[in-house]
Amino acid sequence: MSALALAVALLVAGGLFARRGLMLFRIVRAAKPSDRSGEMPQRARAEAVVVVGQSKLLQRLGPGLMHAVIFWGFLVLLPTIVIAMIGAVDPHATLPWLGPQGWYAALVDAFALLVLAGVLAAFFIRKVQRPGRFKGSHLGEADLILVWISGIVVSLLLWHSSQIALGLNDYPRESAPVSNLISHALSGTWVAVLERVAVWAHVLLILGFLVYLPYSKHLHILVAAINVFFTRTRARGRLEPVDFEKPEAEVRLGAATASDLTWKQVLDTMSCTECGRCQDVCPAYTTGKELSPKLLIMALRDQVRAQSDKPLVPNAVTDNVVWDCVTCGACIQECPVGIEHIDHIVDLRRNLVMLESRFPEEAGTMLRDVDRASNPWGKAPSDRTSWAEGLGVRVLQPGEPPPEVLFWVGCAPAFDERAKQGARSTAKLLLGAGVDFAILGPREACTGDPARRMGDEYTFQRLARDNVRTLNDSKVTKIVTTCPHCFNTIGNEYADFGGRYEVVHHTEFLAQLVREGKLQPAAGERTITYHDSCYLARHNDVIGAPRELAAASGKTVEMARHGKRTFCCGAGGARMWMEERGRPINEERVREAAATGADTLAVGCPFCTVMLDDGVRNSGAKLQVIDLASLLSEAVERKKAQQ
């Protein structure tokens, strides 16, 4: 009888789960392609560290531990599902080998308690602490899931205790201290009933959970592990290119509707647990803009689930949400389930820009300038060398033998007054250290990063191919640049267009020169706080070298949000050229810098230089914004003066 009942329950639950699960699987299968092949060792490592090790979650210790114990408990308690099902049919039977193991019973008891403690902690966080990151999440659903988990664990404990009370335990009762303890309170004829009720409740709760799974955000327990496996491992700053060579009807110009999303993006939406960590660290959300990465993914998930063919903009998200993003990647850094929000936003932008020509007007000026003048300032390419006036920098002419390293200047230092300093200091230091380098001068064109981040992949690819041709013809193999965006695009993205070079950021290059003794600095009196650029630290892991330079120049002090958890200056995602509503991101960051008590705000990026300098001027903070190269230059002069 019991076997029949279990079989029926399994069939019904399994069938319902399979039907819904299959529908979701079909959506993923029908989605657009995304190349996530290769990198198997790195992917396996990510699985181990992020999923099993819960590393991303533990970035916030309290909530991280809370979830970790529930998750590890889930892993440990997995076999108990089978044991319970066997026990539901026959109270005397159990899983061969594992069932009678005392150590396993001990583990089960321990983790059952830990899970309950975790659930309690979760309720404490949600009901008492009430963090802002839950704003917009479906709290009722979360409460239900937590209660359900408690129910599963409590019923398991009650079953174990009543089994012990009835002498049905297959393991020594002392090895399950909690269940043993509870069992002492159980005596009487009703314990037999309790035992049956508990085991069936446990089985039905689990099967019910299984059915509920693909309808709720708890689906993440199946999908997240897969999603994490397929996230980018290296070259995290690289966007997937659009293939324009396909027949016109097949070219995927970003995403207009849910069916345009790639399978990875669909998996992203299915993995979201609405935890809100991304929302918490988003510079746009923090400064009062409409964009919340969490709400974006949730909205896309709704469209995907409904298999809707309505345009995502404005039905899932508004235009503002799409343009608020600075592509800093803080959301991706925080996300424990491997969601890559930037891909979603850039695909929405690609469609708006390339198909509908729908974007903030002022950004259109920048796109036109990039297209026609090959730089977002719209200035003449022949002006690209005026920053280097009087320095004696070699300009590489076509056909000349290549230098050991090419100094790729970028547009900002060439055309923006305040950004020039970093390039000048770098050039002077390189000359002083006797490095064999040259610049391309007017033959440099914008790397295309602002166009690409805006979604204008067409213009980007044209620029990329032109630049790759110039670089390949010049036969350079090593490139140093002061701009993290150029660094990311040339280093990570140009390979897709035939450009493979060793690309180094100027802070890395200069730090190496200091280590080799070719540049000798003497630290001064400044108190320096270094602002990590998103495209350096978070997208590309360049964190140590800039700090070496800062430490060589003065006393250093860190902001709370530093390294991979740095806070954006606000220029990324082509937002440098867009009007900002709400509180300015750059002023937010300047406030944080000023609060450290530093007098110097060191940067390694010409855009950060301009944005943070504006931030200082607008907020009246007592800080000097200065590039690390200039600080190092100062330190080198100081040493010379001392000698």
DSSP helix/strand/coil, 295: helix
| Alpha helices, DSSP H, located in 319-456 | 319-324, 330-334, 341-350, 361-373, 411-415, 420-432, 449-454
Tokens 């689990």 -> residue: 206
Tokens 């108990």 -> residue: 80
Binding mask 247-266 for another protein (x = CB under 8 A): -x--x-x-------------
Could you say which of 362, 400, 436, 541 contacts another protein (CB under 8 A)? 362
Stretch that binds another protein, among 99-107, 230-238, 571-579, 591-599 (CB under 8 A): 571-579
Given a contact cutoff of 8 angstroms between Cβ atoms, the answer to whether 144 and 119 are in contact is: no
Closest distance to another protein from the beta carbon of 418 (Å): 6
For position 458 contacting another protein by CB under 8 A, the verdict is yes
Closest distance to another protein from the beta carbon of 614 (Å): 4
Comparing CB distances to another protein, the nearer of 356 and 404 is 356
Burial class (CB in 10 A: 0-12, 13-18, 19+), 643: exposed
Closest distance to another protein from the beta carbon of 531 (Å): 18
Radius of gyration of the chain (CA): 29
Given a contact cutoff of 8 angstroms between Cβ atoms, the answer to whether 116 and 143 are in contact is: no
Could you say which of 14, 79, 102, 364 contacts another protein (CB under 8 A)? 364
Applying CB under 8 A, the site for another protein has a residue count of 38
- Number of helices (H) and strands (E) in the chain: give both, helices first: 27, 8
Tokens 């959301």 -> residue: 331
Say how many C-beta atoms besides its own lie within 10 A of residue 37's C-beta.
7
Closest distance to another protein from the beta carbon of 575 (Å): 10
Could you say which of 109, 240, 614, 627 contacts another protein (CB under 8 A)? 614
Comparing CB distances to another protein, the nearer of 177 and 381 is 381
Contacting residues for 352 by C-beta, under 8 A, at least 6 apart: 254, 313, 319, 322, 358, 359, 455
Stretch that binds another protein, among 46-54, 199-207, 593-601, 613-621 (CB under 8 A): 613-621
Closest distance to another protein from the beta carbon of 401 (Å): 21
Stretch that binds another protein, among 129-137, 186-194, 353-361, 543-551 (CB under 8 A): 353-361
User: What are the CA-CA distances from residue 422 to residues 120, 324, 478, 628 (Å)?
Assistant: 53, 28, 20, 7
Q: What tokens appear for 379 in the block?
A: 């200035």
Could you say which of 71, 209, 359, 460 contacts another protein (CB under 8 A)? 359
Could you say which of 26, 130, 372, 591 contacts another protein (CB under 8 A)? 372
User: What are the CA-CA distances from residue 411 to residues 450, 453, 636 (Å)?
Assistant: 11, 16, 27
Comparing CB distances to another protein, the nearer of 36 and 418 is 418
Say how many C-beta atoms besides its own lie within 10 A of residue 63's C-beta.
21
Contacting residues for 332 by C-beta, under 8 A, at least 6 apart: 236, 278, 339, 340, 341, 342
DSSP helix/strand/coil, 574: coil
Given a contact cutoff of 8 angstroms between Cβ atoms, the answer to whether 300 and 379 are in contact is: no
For position 347 contacting another protein by CB under 8 A, the verdict is no
CA dihedral 608, 611, 616, 617 (to 10 degrees): 140
Stretch that binds another protein, among 18-26, 350-358, 477-485, 486-494 (CB under 8 A): 350-358
Closest distance to another protein from the beta carbon of 612 (Å): 12
For position 527 contacting another protein by CB under 8 A, the verdict is no
Closest distance to another protein from the beta carbon of 514 (Å): 30
Q: What tokens appear for 42 in the block?
A: 């790195």
For position 640 contacting another protein by CB under 8 A, the verdict is no
CA dihedral 425, 429, 435, 439 (to 10 degrees): 10
CA angle 588, 590, 594 (to 5 degrees): 120
For position 397 contacting another protein by CB under 8 A, the verdict is no
CA dihedral 404, 410, 416, 421 (to 10 degrees): -30
Tokens 């300038």 -> residue: 369
Closest distance to another protein from the beta carbon of 382 (Å): 5
For position 416 contacting another protein by CB under 8 A, the verdict is yes
Could you say which of 446, 545, 598, 610 contacts another protein (CB under 8 A)? 610
Stretch that binds another protein, among 203-211, 355-363, 545-553, 560-568 (CB under 8 A): 355-363
Closest distance to another protein from the beta carbon of 235 (Å): 25
Stretch that binds another protein, among 196-204, 307-315, 578-586, 589-597 (CB under 8 A): 578-586
For position 241 contacting another protein by CB under 8 A, the verdict is no
Cα torsion angle, 96, 97, 102, 105, sign:
negative
Stretch that binds another protein, among 103-111, 135-143, 507-515, 575-583 (CB under 8 A): 575-583
Cα torsion angle, 328, 320, 372, 355, sign:
positive
Stretch that binds another protein, among 18-26, 222-230, 348-356, 485-493 (CB under 8 A): 348-356
For position 381 contacting another protein by CB under 8 A, the verdict is yes
Comparing CB distances to another protein, the nearer of 28 and 348 is 348
Comparing CB distances to another protein, the nearer of 71 and 415 is 415
For position 245 contacting another protein by CB under 8 A, the verdict is no
Closest distance to another protein from the beta carbon of 519 (Å): 28
Q: What tokens appear for 536 in the block?
A: 């350096």
Stretch that binds another protein, among 26-34, 279-287, 338-346, 360-368 (CB under 8 A): 360-368
Contacting residues for 236 by C-beta, under 8 A, at least 6 apart: 329, 332, 539, 540
DSSP helix/strand/coil, 20: helix
How is 179-222 classified by DSSP, letter by letter?
A: HHHHHTT--STHHHHHHHHHHHHHHHHHHHHHHHGGGSGGGHHH
Query: What residue ranges bind another protein (CB under 8 A)?
Result: 244, 248, 251, 253, 353-357, 359, 361-362, 364-365, 367-368, 371-374, 380-382, 416-418, 442-443, 458, 576-580, 610, 614, 617-618
